[in-house]
Chains A and B, each alone.
Chain A
Amino acid sequence: MVLQILLLVGLVLFSVLAILVKDLLKAAISLAVASLLLGIIFFRMNAPYAGVFEISVVAGLITVLFMLTIALTKGGDAVESKAASFAFPAFFVVFIVIDAIIMKKLIQKVPALPGPEEAGTFGQVLWNARTLDLVGQIAVIFAGVFAVLALFRKGDNKDE
């Protein structure tokens, strides 16, 4: 449990770092490390499939896409307002305090029904119980692919 809390704190830390750091490349790497920590957290929560996906896709694929964009837009320096970066710690601490108080008060206040126990293997759950999700995934992948194709098409008819 203690290790879990340390990992969670690390996750938050690297996410905050990713937001406050000026250099975009370092920010992308920081986000990737945060994803890695989240993947480990998932493993320890008995969710190996989610952990694998998180590490390989979010820490891997999305980070690669980020770096590709950073490379293609060289020259766009991160011009940030200093005020926002300095103000952040103050807001952050205030928020954490409020959050902790609210969460403590809510413990035991949220009723819950016992849900169905998990049945079958992960494959069965994904293919049988949540089949419509797969249709949706195919649709969203199509949408992404066609969107990228459309947004990067060769401009052959530009008259507006």
Chain B
Amino acid sequence: MIFLFIALPLVVAGILPLLGKLSKRVLPDALANAVLLFLLVESVLLGKQLAATGPFVRQFSWLGEPVNLRLALDGFSLLMLIVVSLVGLCVGIFSIDYMEHYGSKANYWALFLIMVAGMNGLVLSTDLFNVYLFLEVAAVSSYALVAFGLEHDELEAAFKYLMLSVVASAFILIAIAVIFGVTGSLSFPAVARGLQDLDTKYVVGFCAALFIMGFGLKAALMPFHAWLPDAHPSAPAPISAMLSGLLIKVSGVYALTRIFFNIFGLTPALSTVLMYLATLSMVAAAFLALGQKDIKRMLAYSSISQVGYIVLGLALGTPLGIAGGLFHLINHALAKGLLFLNSGSIQRSTGTRNLDEMGGLAKRMPVTAATNLVGSLSIAGVPPLNGFWSKLIIIIALVQAGHMGFAVVAVLASVLTLWYYLLIQRKAFFGKLNERWKDVKEAPFWMLAANVILALLCIGIGIFFSLTITTWVRPAADALSQGVRLAFGSWGM
């Protein structure tokens, strides 16, 4: 029942405002989180089924007639489903307390669930136009969620985000139109077959350029990143976590990777272009993060940098590189989600996001400080946390493929990352307790619970990394490494 991944959040989102009239807080909170929990359990169960049967396509029927509702599940899609459900659930738990002051919680949950439904739909679709459509579903709900607090900063950031997103969508659609023109179809198998049959180097190159501009903007790959450093800090903390941890990966990295690997086939030219863009992101964003005073802005630049790592690993194209990139995707989603939720806790308790104003919070907010340390070390790549293993795999893959220059740059960027995260730790948590914060309280229960769950996951995946890789990452990497054959094989009509 993989259609449930799209249908269930949508249906619940539809009835939530009605329920919100009955019970302002408890019922919407409980219902939304129940949906997210159900999706998580369902995705894990699907994992077992996938391991048994291999990638499959489901065709659904409506009232007896078969309709063209085809959803495909392979390792890569499953990985994204699990990550979306997991981070979504933790962010949902966090939002129970955090969104108290914003009002209109039922609306918030409705938009949140629509965003999740959009992301799930994108991951499960087998048709280029459906990818675009669900991308827009998630995007439209994210515009409203970024602006949810209705403060000046949030509105401005949401508006800029919207404008840049529209240009990206236009590029993506023009590329889709050209592909439709060349191959006469929009579904993945037909397009892959069509592109193989014709001599289409230039057309593919043109469409690839448009896709890189469009999806690259969604993934905040440099130089298309300009919207992210404004949008992610201004949004409410749980939404920042969803955007940084999930949306840029699902609508940017997933879509790009799926199209380039399984439909176009990764050529050396594409690989090189992506690797250079990824390295630019990795390094430039790390430098830009160093100068930031706002904690969420620093985290936003760090997201751009880490997406650079992910794309670098994926663009390398070797099985090890793909595995490293995918593993880093999981780890970054968990760790960056954790860090943004933490910044929300800090903002809720102290009212500021400015690092210079904080100090010594560890004494008053020990749990937040501890989870923040776990998240920071994870992204910085300190063993034995999960980030260390994924970065190591990417660097080894680069060395094995002979790209020594890239490997050195990756290591240096890692050092930079460690530096600015330690800066956060020192400025915000350790050191002398700033007098202003002597009465600050620890964050409320649900916020702490979400942070602790994510931190435990970071530690757990770090310790059990080989188990995680063989169960979740390997099938996904295999699906991608098969390249265009996947489109002919299990998705074939």
Contacts and interface: CB of A to CB of B under 8 A. Distances in A.
Contacts of A62: none
Given A110-B181, A147-B111, A147-B140, A156 B103 contact: yes
Nearest to B133: A136
A92 B137 CA distance: 34
A128 B65 contact: yes
Nearest to A116: B184
9 contacts: A111-B199, A111-B203, A113-B197, A130-B68, A139-B121, A142-B14, A147-B111, A150-B107, A151-B147
Would you list the 6 A-B pairs with minimal beta carbon distance, nearest first? A115-B184, A147-B144, A136-B133, A150-B107, A143-B141, A143-B140
Interface in B116-139: 117-118, 121, 125, 127, 129-130, 133-134, 136-137
A159 B101 contact: yes
A3 B125 CA distance: 40
Contacts of A116: 184-185
Interface stretch (B148-156, B289-297, B402-410, B414-422): B148-156
Contact of B182 (A111, A128, A138): A111
B13 interface: yes
Contacts of A143: 111, 114-115, 118, 137, 140-141, 144
Contacts of B194: 113
B141 A146 contact: yes
Contacts of B14: 142
Interface residues of B, number: 57
Interface residues of A, number: 36
A156 B104 CA distance: 9
B110 A146 contact: yes
A142 B13 CA distance: 8
B144 A142 contact: no
Contacts of B125: 132
B6 interface: yes
Contacts of A153: 103-104, 107
Contacts of A85: none
Contact of B148 (A139, A150, A154): A150
Interface of B: 6-7, 10, 13-14, 17, 62, 65, 67-71, 100-104, 107-108, 110-111, 114-115, 117-118, 121, 125, 127, 129-130, 133-134, 136-137, 140-141, 143-144, 147-151, 180-185, 194, 197-200, 202-203
A115 B198 CA distance: 13
A114 interface: yes
B200 A150 contact: no
B345 to A, nearest CB: 15
Contact of A142 (B65, B69, B110): B110
Contacts of A110: 181-182, 203
Given A136-B133, A136-B137, A150 B144 contact: yes
A120 to B, nearest CB: 12
Of A114, A127, A131, A159, most B-chain CB atoms within 10 Å:
A131
Contacts of A133: 129-130, 133
A155 interface: yes
Nearest to B13: A142
